[in-house]
Amino acid sequence: MSAALALDGVRKAYGARDALDGLSFEAPRGAITGLIGPNGAGKTTCFGVAAGLLKADAGRIDVLGRGAFDPAARAGALGMLPQDAELPPHARVDGLLAYFARLQGFTRAEARREAARALELMSLSDRARSRVRELSHGMRRRVAVAQALLGEPELLLLDEPTSGLDPHLVVEVREVLRAQRERGASLIVSSHVLSDLEAICDHVVFIEAGRAIKSGPLAAVTGRGQRVRFTLAAPIELALLQARLPDLVLRAQAAWVELEAPAAGDLAALNRRVLQALLDLNAGVLEMRLGQSLEQAYLDERARGRG
Amino acid sequence: MASAPKRGLRDVAIVAGYELGEALRTRRVLIFALLFVGGAVAGTLAFVELLESLEAGLARALAVADPSKPGAMTAELMRSPEFLRMLRRLVRDEELARELAGLPPLALFYGWLGLTFMPVLVMLTSAETISAELATGSIRFSLLRTDRLSVSAGKLLGQSLLMLAGVYAGALAVWTTGYFSLSSFEAGRSALWLALLSIRVAVYAFAHVGLALGLSHLTRSVPLSRALALGALAVLGLLFGLLRNLDWIREHAAGPADAVLQLVPRSHLLDLWRPSLWDRLPSLVMLFALGTVYFAIGYLHRARRDA
């Protein structure tokens, strides 16, 4: 099956500045893909060209296996939360969403029902009759997410969906995104809060200066299932540990020790052996974690990229 | 699923409907429309007062009794050969002068008022239709669901319907004012002529709606789009004055000047007063075409660019 979104050598420049410099990656279907990169890396531009709002200068864009996105022919197949677009301030929330739903092909009655459903998903039913200008920043953000969910699109592009939300709402939005994946939708999500993405993503793409520097399943990128990190109260002598576990590949830095797990092997049994050896050496073990955090994986990849 | 053209027309109608609602919600257009209607009423009252004083003066000069309500003597005056001679000299056209002299005075007044002020009103209210949405990015929410032409054409239709509503609201206000303040008021005939002249005002104003929306596609800045609209109105007025009246141009380049004048809405103004539909038709068609072409130029400029 084709990817939900495939970009191949996509270029986009604003004047002399290259926003996308041959960006290539594939986001799998039925998964949540995290798009990660610093400010100005090209994430928002990537969403814009994928949705057809921005004109790419070169490269190939394939949305849901049917070429570049044509909103007239496939209205409703793609839902998007643009980062820098404001909702019209005078509009009533339910009327605005119903208008968008009508443009997706719903009848007037269906559009009203669809708007109500999307608002309920975002816990905004009580603000349906409010005008956009009367809403807080967080509520506006949730209305913007709600418009992206209208008509249950096959592909959702969400640029910073949790930006400016209270912590409990961040959790709520994460649940909504998981529910979208459960119904079979493909999602591509960007966020500066990598712990947010780590909690929901199946796949990640690191993007830097308009290029994808790494992409793959979250487990592979963070080394889950391949690596176990033991965080210690104080540094230990790696040689002492290695002497007790000569058949294992170990690394140590500062106050952590990392076990490289062999491709075939009982990870739980290996962990028990390392833990026992550490305890024998009187090392205080504070935390045990499969692989790296997404944040660490990202920072390592950036550091590697800079040589 | 609807065919592409049918779907396109449906989307144009949906955008136009929402545009009308949005105009009422923002109240800005409503305020301008009320100003126009208020201006029409105030103008009519001033016109009636002028008639009153003229008739009183005339009655004194002719040593007859003052008319109890204004208008009766004016109607007689407009049917007099002297008035016809004066009009003939003014418009340089026998048939046209006869037509104008035969019109109810208030319809004639409203025709002049609408043709003079509606272009300015339209340029003030329609200039930011597209640029404001480009500035906030809110146009992107629509462009994810339908094609650019449907959005732009929908906005053109919405603004044209608003203008039409404004023109007829003004005509109704003038009719009502005349009904209560002119003794010789021919209610049926005045209503008919106000309705007929309103169509001509609307077609003339449509050329300006097209121009305003065309210019609105050129920039993401609301103040700049307003400045462009008012600047275009001034430039077209200047162009008309120079090409029509400058002796040197009339002597040395009358042909090219007349060709360029075809592109200026005001050049078709006088023909709108012609009695025969066949005589008016070229101007009506030309004004409609001008509005469409001005709009299309702006649209084509934006269609090749980022949303």
Which of B91 and B292 is assigned the larger pLDDT? B292
Please answer yes or no on whether B22 and A53 come within 8 Å at the CB atom.
Answer: no
Tokens of A229: 């990190």
Average pLDDT, chain A: 92
Coil, helix or strand for A163? coil
Q: How confident is the model at residue B268 (pLDDT cuts 50, 70, 90)?
A: very high
Coarse DSSP helix, strand, coil percentages of chain A, rounded to the nearest 5 percent: 35, 25, 35
Closest residue by Cα to residue A35 from A206, A217, A187, A155: A206
Interfacial B residues in 21-50 facing A (CB < 8 Å): 21-22, 25-26
* Nearest-10 Cα torsion for A171, A172, A178, A184: -160
pLDDT at A159: 95
Share of chain B above pLDDT 90, in %: 56
Say yes or no to pLDDT of A271 above 80: yes
Q: What is the pLDDT of residues A53-97, one digit of tens each?
A: 999 999 999 999 999 999 988 889 999 999 889 999 999 999 999
Tokens of A174: 């994460």
User: Does the beta carbon of B15 lie under 8 angstroms from any beta carbon of chain A?
Assistant: yes
User: Does the beta carbon of A91 lie under 8 angstroms from any beta carbon of chain B?
Assistant: yes
The answer to whether the CB of B307 falls within 8 A of the CB of B148 is yes
DSSP for A259-301, please give it: EE--SSS-HHHHHHHHHHHHHHTT--EEEEEES--HHHHHHHH
Say which range, A18-22, A208-212, A258-262, has the weakest mean pLDDT. Answer: A258-262
Mutation target for A interface from B144, B222, B301, B304: give the one with most A CBs within 10 A: B144
Question: What count of other Cβ atoms lies within 10 Å of the Cβ of residue A192?
Answer: 14
State how far the Cα of B297 lies from the Cα of B291, in Å rounded to an integer: 10
Residues 6+ apart with CB under 8 A from A148: A79, A80, A81, A156, A157, A158
A258-285 mean pLDDT: 85
Q: How confident is the model at residue B72 (pLDDT cuts 50, 70, 90)?
A: low
Which residues of chain B are within 8 Å of residue A86 when distances are taken between CB atoms? 136-138
Which of A108 and B23 is assigned the larger pLDDT? A108
A132-157 mean pLDDT: 96
For residues A78-92, b (16+ Cβ closer than 10 Å) or e, as one string?
Answer: bbbbbbebbbbebbb
Distances (CA, A) of A281 to A138, A235, A241, A269, A270: 51, 11, 8, 19, 17
Q: What is the pLDDT of residues A6-19, one digit of tens each?
A: 999 999 999 899 99
Which residues of chain A are within 8 Å of residue B146 when distances are taken between CB atoms? 71-72, 75, 103
* Nearest-10 Cα torsion for B210, B212, B217, B218: 130
Q: What is the pLDDT of residues B134-144, one digit of tens each?
A: 999 999 999 99
Say yes or no to pLDDT of A103 above 90: yes
Query: How is the beta sheet containing A249-253 ordered, strand by strand?
Result: A249-253, A256-260, A227-232, A285-290
Q: What is the DSSP letter of A86?
A: P
Report ipTM (2 d.p.).
Answer: 0.86
Average pLDDT, chain B: 88
Burial class (CB in 10 A: 0-12, 13-18, 19+), A239: exposed
Q: What is the pLDDT of residues A207-234, one digit of tens each?
A: 999 999 999 999 888 887 778 889 999 8
State how far the Cα of B46 lies from the Cα of B36, in Å rounded to an integer: 15
A137-142 mean pLDDT: 94
The answer to whether the CB of A97 falls within 8 A of the CB of A115 is yes
pLDDT at B68: 60
Q: How confident is the model at residue A307 (pLDDT cuts 50, 70, 90)?
A: low
pLDDT at A292: 80
Please answer yes or no on whether A103 and B305 come within 8 Å at the CB atom.
Answer: no
Closest residue by Cα to residue B27 from A294, A71, A133: A133
Which residues of chain B are within 8 Å of residue A54 when distances are taken between CB atoms? 306-307
Say yes or no to pLDDT of B232 above 80: yes
pLDDT at B91: 72
What pTM value is reported for the model?
Answer: 0.87
Closest residue by Cα to residue B268 from B280, B259, B257, B276: B280
Alpha carbon B122 to chain centroid, angstroms: 8
B192-206 mean pLDDT: 96
* Nearest-10 Cα torsion for B10, B15, B17, B19: -170
